[in-house]
Amino acid sequence: MGRSVRSPFITAWLAVAIYLWRPSTPMARRTIALLLLPAMFAACSTELEVSAPYKDITVVYGVLSTRASDGVSDETRHYVKINKAFLGEGDALVYAQIPDSTEYDDPDFQVAPRVVDLDNNTEYLLNDTLMPREPGVFNSPLHKVYSFDATLDPEHSYAVRMTVRGNEVSAQTPIVNPPAYQSGFLQTNSNSKLNLMLGNQYNTVDMDFRSGRDARRYDVTYRVRYAEDRSGVLTEESYTVFLGSVRTNGLNGGEELQVAISGEAFYQNMANVMENDPSITRRIYRGLDILFAAASDEFATYLTLAQPVSGIVEERPEYTNITNGYGLFAGRHFQTAVGVKLGDASLVQLVEGPYTAPFNFCIEGNGPPLGCD
């Protein structure tokens, strides 16, 4: 179980790079890199002490999945970020640029970090490596990341364990199972089509699916793929639009869920994305994908607490499910319905409709008058 941590003496600001609900983001969607910057304040008569005796605090972030962030291929390399909190007399931003302030060395581990399959006791040692990181608050251009290679079993649960500087740190998570598509146009090799138009009227369509086991939250996005033609030179492009989030009532799977896609909003969004570039002679419509990203119960709670505060009360507890540490060890699942077919009236609207006609779309593989040939 996770826990909420609140203290009048310790304020922990969590700086996170989480792009797991944005499948187009590179390595950051696999690696959740987080460091903890604590500051302790104690008043004593006329003096203010801005630091306290050193205490080692381990910070762990890892999210396991059986599916890579493209939602199609298997995930076989899994990343865990392990850092230490730091405190010093001086500018914390200066310390953050020093690797030794935040990264452990091998001798710091009395028991090396590992991930354990709790159903069959298979252990996977975490191997450290240096990976690129863009300049920012923390040290760059390289930072230490831990990883292991395995094909995870969606029916099993996994734990991360280590003993660092005498402190036993651990957490566990189930693996999120895939959703089951109910709407025909989401299913592979289906002849069903997504009808964003009914006659001359815009249509709002409910995309139906059933939850997978251990999934608490789904974020649903669509991606439009197209090519821009500049005098015979094609440039492949795409953009994504977030449709919404839905939560499950339980974790056993099989719950009926749905997310709506508005026909008119689809064409409006497309028009807003397109650039008015006279050098583009035509745009070739390549296809539409629907992307599902599921979070485990712990991950969903973390995401909820990480959302911007909109009410009067700004304070909120810091969430962690790490025993003897801070951070998050959780599960997620990506799944993508590739090449969702649009209905005939929807394709006509794309080429000739008021929102998108000015951008010279044509439909790949179609004959006249909508086709590109």
**Model confidence over 327-370: pLDDT tens digits?**
999 999 999 999 999 999 999 999 999 999 999 999 988 878 89
Q: What's the confidence (pLDDT) of residue 21?
A: 35
Residues of the chain with pLDDT under 50: 3-45, 48
pLDDT of residue 51: 57
pLDDT at 353 (0 to 100)? 96
User: What whole-number distance in Å separates Cα of residue 130 and Cα of residue 143?
Assistant: 5
Q: What is the pLDDT of residue 26?
A: 39
Tokens 């712990």 belong to 298
Residue 181 has a pLDDT of 98
What phi, psi does 54 have (nearest 5°)?
A: -65, 135
pLDDT of residue 24: 39
pLDDT of residue 257: 98
pLDDT for the residue 13: 31
pLDDT, position 54: 64
Q: Is 171 exposed, middle or buried (0-12, 13-18, 19+ CB in 10 A)?
A: buried
Q: Say what the pLDDT of residue 315 is.
A: 66
**Tokens 């831990």 sit at which residue?**
146
Q: Which bin fits 71, alpha (ψ -120 to 50), beta or left (φ > 0)?
A: left
Question: Could you report the per-residue pLDDT of 21-31, keeping only the tens digit for each?
Answer: 333 333 333 33
Ordered by start, the domain boundaries in the chain are: 7-176+296-333, 180-293+343-363
What is the model's pTM?
0.83
The tens digit of pLDDT for each residue in 126-145 reads 999 998 888 888 888 989 99
